[in-house]
Amino acid sequence: MRQITVLFFAALALLLSACASAPTSGNGPPPSHAVTAVDEYQIGVDDIVQVTVWRNPDLGITAPVRPDGMISVPLIGDVQAGGLTPSTVAADIGQKLSAYVRDPQVAVILTDLRSHEYLSRVRVTGAVRQPVSIPYRPGMTVLDAVLAAGGVTEFAAGNRSSLHRKKGKSSAYDAYRAYDVQLQKILDGSDLSTNYPVAPGDVITVAERAL
């Protein structure tokens, strides 16, 4: 298992090194990350959703999304949730409940985002003690992620490190944009200006010195 993990991160580093040859921001930090609004999040299988109907508590449920993408709501039965936004699901439930309830006010709230946890991870690779894939946490910075990887090795060229961030929703590697990170300056405390806040899906690569 350890060998597979090392090979995975090695391949990831090689692929991202190609992206690093594209123009980087150079003169500025990556754009500020705004957590995706709940209404824009597409519900996935195993996500826990809470459905509430104003003044009708008996119609409320809290349940995981089934493998078929459905949830079961009192009175109306199965409702599609997987692949849809909470606001869309709420509107659909409201429309179906209108046959039984006068002017139903429905809210759909995500209480546990399980399906997208993998996509929301932050990965650190390159000249670090232990390449890692860690869950994103609000407020996390480049330094936090690198420390979670055990810090850099003696072969690191910290000031040639990069933060790779997706430019859009595409999963292609050419959809990443690289931002220069002066990691050694961050570690010795001389300049924290590139200790950027990280975002879900970011990949940090720590360069190695040429021997």
7-24+118-206 maps to CATH 3.10.560.10? yes
- Show me where the domains of the chain are located: 7-24+118-206, 42-112
Walking along the chain (211 residues) 10 residues at a time, the average pLDDT comes out as: 45 48 55 55 89 96 94 96 94 97 95 78 95 91 97 96 80 73 96 94 92 68
Maximum alpha-carbon separation in the chain? 74
Determine the CATH number of domain 42-112.
3.30.1950.10
* Parallel, antiparallel or unpaired: strands 70-73 and 61-64: unpaired
Which spans in the chain are helix H? Answer: 2-20, 86-97, 142-148, 183-188
